[in-house]
Structure 1
Amino acid sequence: MYLKQVELFGFKSFADKTVLEFGPGIAAVVGPNGCGKSNLVDAVRWALGEQSVKALRGSRMEEIIFSGSETRKPLNYAEVSLTFANASPQLNIDFDEVTVSRRIYRSGESEYYLNKSLCRLKDITELFLDTGIGKELYSVVGQGRVEEIISSKPEDRREIFEEAAGILKYKLRKKEAQRRLEETRENLVRVEDLIFELQGQVEPLQEQAEIARRYRQLKQEADRLEKQLLTYRINSSRQELEKVEKALVAATEAISSFLHEGSRREEQIQELRRKQQQLMEEREKTEQQRSAVFHQLEKLEGELRVLQERESRFKEQLQENGRRVRQLEESAGRLSLAREQLQRELRDREEAAREEQKAVEGLQAGLERFENDRLLVEVEAQQERLLQVSARQEAVETSFKELSQQLERLESRRAALEKEAAELREQLAETEGRRRELQRELASAREEVEAAARAKEKAEQERAAREEELSRLSSQEQQWREEWQGVKAKLQLLREQEAGLSGYYRGVKEVLQARSSLKGIRGTVADVLAVEERYLRAVEAALGGALQYIITDTEQDARQAIDYLKKGRRGWATFLPLDTIHLSSPALDRFPEWRKTEGVIGRASELVKVEPAYRKIVDYLLGSIIICQDLESASRAARAIKYSCRVISLEGDVISPGGAIRGGSLPSRSAALPLGRRKEIEALEQEEERLNKRGLALGEQLAKARASLAGAERQLQLAGEELAKHQERAGDLQRALEGVAREEAFVGENREKNEAARAALEDEEAELVRRRQDLEQQRQDCRRERELILQELESKRDLYQQGLARKQELERELREAAVRLNSCQEQKSSLQEKIKQLDQERLRMEEEQQECRRAAQKIDEELLALAKNRDQANEKLEQQRQEAAAVMATLEAQKRELSILTAELNDLEEQERRWRSRLSRTEKRERQLALDQARLKAELEYRRQRYDELFGDSALLELEPDFDAGECERQMGILKEEMESLGEVNLGAIDELQRLQDRIGFLQEQQEDLKKGELSLHEVLAEIDREMEHHFMETFKVIEKNFQEVFQELFDGGQVFLKLSDPENLLESGIEIIAQPPGKKLQNISLLSTGEKVLTALALIFAILRYKPAPFYLLDEIESSLDDANLTRFTNYIEALSKETQFILITHRKRTMEAAHVLYGVTMPESGVSRLVSLKPKEKAS
């Protein structure tokens, strides 16, 4: 097995998709510091499950996602995939290639994939167990990891040995066993608590079960009668519901038809919106195409302008060359004429010199006797020198004049170049100004694009918020409607029950229904009481059946009502005449200390509100009853009054006179009781009022939400159009800026050429100035020498004139002849020098003419090429203009079509708003019909539910035709009074007792199982510890032996030892490294030099490799601190191991690169973005 491929996308500096292919052997990754090489190591560690942000050289996990650069936007996720060749196979998976991937999003969510299938981190960890591969293992080693191996605590260093020994899987098993042991102990404690608690509930349930059995006998007969009565009422409700449903069908069908029409219109609107969106997308594509076409058009126009400007420059240069050639030709002609003139003068001087030579020779013959005269010799010598100096001075003057003329010509050329430079500077300043202006406009346009994009995004968010708000309000409205219908139906049912006196005994109901014909009937006790909610259950328990006692004005009225019941066999009732009811001294008055008892609330009669006329009724019924907080305080109060009166808790527990206690778990208060039903009606009426207000508010909110959504959609459309407009302007400015940049580059190139020509001209001018300065010095030297000779001749002139008179004439003639001869000779030499200089100047001019002709030829070639390119550019420009016209036509057509479609959509949306208004009114009418149906259904459902609750899902009874519902109610009243005499009954006590006993038996069995499981887990933990100690010690010995061998190979000698810091505790003991390199003493690894530490750490890793080779090793500059000798040993060792193991090296060292079979380069051509370069073998060798 080996690492075959690493694929990165968006990981740190690797913004683009980057793939590294590896094979067996050695691969090296090189590159300059800071280019992102070590990010490859972080990527491998991260893909293998690394969770430590610090280990990945960051502060937050989101930092590994590419965060953007000056030219790139940040990415939203990063992904790394590692592909392993598994042909061996070494991984426990049936695939030849295994790909492990990890992906992270900016939200912090992380995903793992195994062969592109989603998996857990645990699956990845288990896959690489015992393979030497892992996020914290020695298969990935960097300088930091080597330093960690060297300087870490001995206890931390043992992790490497544990991985090599396969201890990690035992640790996982031990951790799981410890977790299960802790859960077992907690479960055992809970089971024991449950058993203790349940055993305390057995005895009270046994007493309740006996009462429940008697109650069941009475209940069965009462249920039979109630079943008949419910069957009768269900049939009546069903018939009435059928009539209402028939009336509702027509309305429902009308609504359905209306909704169908609305659905069809909604589909039309959605279709138009889809077409609108599609057309907007097409328009956006056309806009992009238009931008691209105009960008290309602008580019071609810019190129054409550049070509035209270059052509103009070349023509100007060609004209300048022509002028220069003509100037050179004219100068050459002048030079030729001057040379011919000088040649003629030279021939004349030569002839004159021969004549003068003859004259001198004749005079010299006459003066031979004066040859030995010293004064004459000196004067003649001085005269000779004077002639030579004069000739040399004349030659220097001639050369000085010619150099001055050359400097004037150079000055003319420099002025022309200066003028050209000034023009180029003006052009460059103009283009720079245009560029800065365009940059400012482009920056402003981009800000406008960003602002428009933000506005569009905000509009999209606003529309989404409005849609969400509308959906939320619609859901609330639906919920409100269901809640409102439920409350309405329940309230209607309770009102009907109240009006129909449901729940009253038959006799009470008969009297109340006949109260209009009977005299003095005030109503029941429940009618006159007002009780707070918290006291309701206690008062109901205190009054019981007395709530149905009938209040009359007088005793006579009560007797009249009783006669009414007897005559018609209409049941019985209890009456409370106001003129006879009175309360004797309550027994409570004998025990005043009961009020001081903790938990006492007060006398029951004091806790209800009643009109003054009925106060004595309340005192009669409740004056001897105490209400307490709970059963415990009720027991204290009962003992305080010596069990002489009833004491009742708020939960309804009753302590009767004499000490009997009735209590337990009561069912929720039934609305069938008159007092509770009235309370519930009042609560439902308040709830109905609240729901009505809420419904009105929801209707207004829904209308506003729909209007807001329509406005948000219009705003989004406007924002999209505004964004497209600003994007178009930004594109135009960008293209114009690119054209100016190209023009600026061309001007800059010409300016560089001008500066080069000026520099060459300055060099030539400097050389001529230097030569002229030399000639100026020669002129001054000649003047001083000539003046000196003349002074000497003047000083000797007097002595010379004192000579022989006859000799003077000869001397004068000889001197004149000699002067004339010397003058001729000097003129001859001067003419020869001038001819030579003219020849040189002519040669220089000919060379300059050739250079100008070559330049002109080159310019002609450039002009031909430019003309060809210009023609091609014109053709492309014309084609691009035609394409631009076609695109603009398409765009205009799309805009017209979009305008028409928008108008249609607005019309349909207006129709939809009117339709929704009509639908709202229609639904309002339909809701009233639905309420009637819901009320009847609720009533039927309530009665059917009541039937099912009492008798299960059995079918309704077949009633006799002469069934008497009144007689059935009377018999039920008798049975209920008998059942009430039993007090509170726990009907589930029998089954609950059996379930409790079964539960206790089951829990006792679980208790035994848990104890056995606890013992078994202790044995498993002990076995795991033994196996861990065995494997660790066996591995430790083998690695120590390998460590010593590898150490000696790498150091060419020396010795090293591994030492357990706590040999008595093998599971926790740390590992110390004691090393002795050649020539040093035995010492701890922390005392070695840096290179020795690194080489020792590498020796340890290679020792582990010998014991259990990993499929691949990724080494990050671990050899950087090694010297050349140690580096050679290191690379030789790796080359030997690479035959069996794959190595991937991050390195700077040349020797390591030479050992690599494959070489990758990492560069950063763009700031913050790494790029991979694969080097060929010959590139690697170089």
Structure 2
Amino acid sequence: MRLTSIKLSGFKSFVEPTHFQVPGQLVGVVGPNGCGKSNIIDAVRWVLGESKASELRGESMQDVIFNGSTHRKPAGRASVELVFDNSAGKAAGQWSQYAEIAVKRTLTRDGTSSYYINNQSVRRRDIQDIFLGTGLGPRAYAIIGQGMISRIIEARPEELRIFLEEAAGVSKYKERRRETENRLHDTTENLTRLEDILRELNTNLEKLEAQAAVAKKFHELQGDQEEKQKLLWLLRKNEAKAEQEKFFKEIERAQIDLEEQTAKLRHVEAELEHMRQAHYGAGDRLHQAQGHLYQTNSEIGSLEAQIKFVIESRNRLQSQLNSLTAQRDQWQRQGSQQQDELAEAEIALEEFGMRVEQSQQAVQDANERLPSLEQAWRESQLKTTESRGKIMQVQQQIELQSTHQRNASNILSGLAARRERLMQEKNGMAMPDDVHLSNLKLQLEEKQASLEEANMYLEEAQEQVPRLEEERRAAQELVSKETSANAQLEARLSALKQLQESVQAQGKVQPWLEKHGLAELPRLWQKLHIEQGWETALEAVLRERMSALEMSNLDWAKAFFSDAPPAKLALYAPNAGLAQPAPAAANGLKPFINLLQLNDPGQRALMNDWLRDVYVADDTAIAFAERSTLPLGGVFVTRQGHVVSQSSVRFYASDSEQDGMLARQQEIENITKQQRAQYMLAEEAKGRAVRAEAALSSASQRLQELRQRTASLTQSAHSLQIEVMKLAEVQERFNQRSTQIATDLEEIGMQEAEQQQVQAESEARFEQLDIELAELQEQHENGQTDYLTREQQLNDARTRLRELERSSQETEFAEKSHRSKIEELKRSIATALEQAAQLFASMQQGSLELESLDDQAAQAGLQELLDRRSEQERALADARHELDQLSQQLRTHEENRMQAERSLQPQRDRITELQLKEQAARLNQEQFSEALAQTQADEAALSEKLTADMRPSYLQGEVTRLTNAIAALGAVNLAALDELATASERKHFLDAQHADLNEAITTLQDAIHKIDMETRDLLQVTFDKVNHHFSELFPVLFGGGQAKLIMTGDEILDSGVQVMAQPPGKKNATIHLLSGGEKALTATALVFSMFQLNPAPFCLLDEVDAPLDDANTERFANMVKRMSDHTQFLFISHNKIAMEMAQQLIGVTMQEQGVSRIVAVDMESAANFSSAEQAA
């Protein structure tokens, strides 16, 4: 890949879009200091992914954006693009297929940074991947900035090793190894989390298996309960249906009675309606008489208002005629007065017209004289301005020469003072103490040995502490587990004991027992022990005898014959049947008593009596089949408690909470034993936890002591190392400063001679300019006098013109005012005449209206209406009397109707009551039907299960029993079965993941081992080759001497690299003793050695030749020329020898302050052009 062009826009000083070609293998960048040459190097480093602002000579990344200048505003974004020729296809990855690759980076003020390859948005890492292993990158050896040569050669061995890795091309291996380690770390963490999940999952599986068994039992009981509940609902539904039919028949009979009484009510209502129609007719006649009376009253009111209006109008018109007469007289007087004013205004208007003409002529004369005065003034002003400009130019040159003289004088004074300081510093410099430095180095080696020993012990302690922490954690988990198990057993035991005590204390017989002092006697079930699973069978056989009370003498029971207990109760004396023999097995049958564990002879005798002829059967079917083998009076009993004799089958079902007491008692005893054993396990686990905690505390304390000792040794070694470095730096600074002082004194002498010459030339130029300034000032004073005279004449003429214009405007305004006044007076006179005529017409109209007003006809009509009103008032009184009589009759009939209607209400209430009962029965039927429908019950199948003797109370009792049985199960995880299946499936999946992760860890570890082997081999080969090239190039650049690379450790993967170089004639022990130029040549030889091994596509050199003299610069240039066959070089230099080797020169200028521009020159074309001109 070759760099063909660079494009910059808004980057540092390159504010304008700048594009320059890089066509050759040797391209030089030249220009004065501060013009922006190094910004090109920074631009290349930045576009290759540099993210550290200090490496770009800035404080933040926004500093790369042009920040403005004196005449330019700051830019909003920076952009740099590098274009590469990839015709050979050496680019890495997917980009190898492109013949040209453009790498671009942009940055905006808001911090948004974007990367592009061939205008495709990519990541910063994608750009770095293209150049991995090529020596290119933001901080690789192929980009050498100012001061980087000295930093390379003075770098620590670990830092120098980075350049060797880049030359070996192992940076891509390191990146792969880092990614692999990250994946291995993530995989290990995932495996740890997975193992924690599996441990927790196994614990949950054990719990879920127990919960699933309870859930299964719950579902069985719930199924039985639902069936009994459905039968209860069906029975209740049938009862509600029968009640509904009964109430419906009663409603029909009550409605027939109600209809008979309703017919009687309708007859009364018909008579009432007839009387109501007559009442309505009388009311209409009353309303009609009232309407006639109201109309007559209205007409009377209207005539009275009309008469009143005529009187008021006559008065009003007379008043208006008087007012109009007064107004007409006033308008006539006003018109006569305005006629006089109009005559005076017309005379004044003629006078102002003459004055206007005179003022306009004067203004015109003044305007004609003004242009000639202005022209003379401008010519005088131009001459004065020219002379002032010449004077300012001469004064600036004089000030410049004065500044040159002062600067030269200041520089000479500063140089003299600097010479004095350098001589004093040279005489006062002390030689460094080499003996003290050697002693400190020996002490440092001893401290480092002690530190290595302490680190070894520290590593052992650090490995021990995690192991002890794991043991403590395991012990604490065991304590938690055993304590939790113990707490669960205690909780279960407490719950069973409470249930047993509460059941024993319940029942009707308890008060009777307390009354007779028998409540504390032991129960039989407390002393019985039977094989597990047969507790229900024993309860089915013994029934109430399970709770029999033990008495030492059975004769005491005689006292209870007169006061029998209120419920079933059995009493026994264990010694009463000692003489009875044990029952013998018949026909190979297994006696039930053999399942009991009886150590007390009295108890055994009692059980022999009670369980005689009771045998064991595995299930009901077997018992039923073998019932013929039973002896007379014998029975089979099954685990479920069902009893089969030769002639009967008795099914067992729990009918009280007393059942199950024997099973609970045996469970209490078993749990008590388990709880004791679990308590011992918990105590043992606590002991282990205490021991693990003590061991961990001891190891942690030892680790802390070792860390403190290591820190102390590290601090001591670090202090010694710093002191050694300080003394070494003092020694190096002494040598460097001595050389620098001699060089500075020589430069001071040269600068003094140069400044003295500048000072003499400036003094001669100053005298010449002083004479020229005096002549120009005399010419300027003469021109200034003429200018002021012309300016005064022009101002006087302008003032006279303004006064004439103002007087003319005032005269014109007065003329216009009089014209307006004349027009206004004419309009006022016309208005007065018009108003007087209108008022006269109004007076004539008012007189006619006054004569037309007459009220005699209205007075006659009013008397006629008053007579008609008297007749209508008498007719209204007759109609009101008739209406009152009909209203009394209507109220009588209404009372009869209401009495008949009230007699219907009791019957309606009876029907409503029956309807409510029928509705309640129907709602009950619908409720039970809905309940059956919601549970999707098959009513036909349920009806077949119903029997004639089945009652709701029995079914309700069964539902209650099953509900109690479900409640006895306690909290049930109904989702346990599904959760168990899900957890089992998840465990299978996690087991597979566990195996995959273990396999992945093995694969990643093998990959890291393989990468380390390949990296180790490649680094060793690279180190040998670079060392070989370094030993060859060093004598070429120095003209002799020797140099080599030394590995500081045994393991090449983490060892540093140290440079040993001895120029011709020197036997220095360290690289730090070399001069600046020698260090630069050594670093150059090292970098070029890496280039010969792994040539980068191009190399950037920023003033690398600055410390070199001409001879070394020439050798450096020759070597660069030879290497340019394989590597493209872009270098910045101020050295003419280095410039001569360039095939193209790129000049960077800064004609505008703060803005860089490019000027490119092809040296071969320029040379050919020069030769052609000389030939011509």
Shared fold, TM over 0.5: no
**TM-score bucket (shorter structure):** 0.3 to 0.5
Q: Scaled by the length of structure 1, what TM-score is found?
A: 0.38
Higher-Rg structure is 2
Q: Scaled by the length of structure 2, what TM-score is found?
A: 0.39
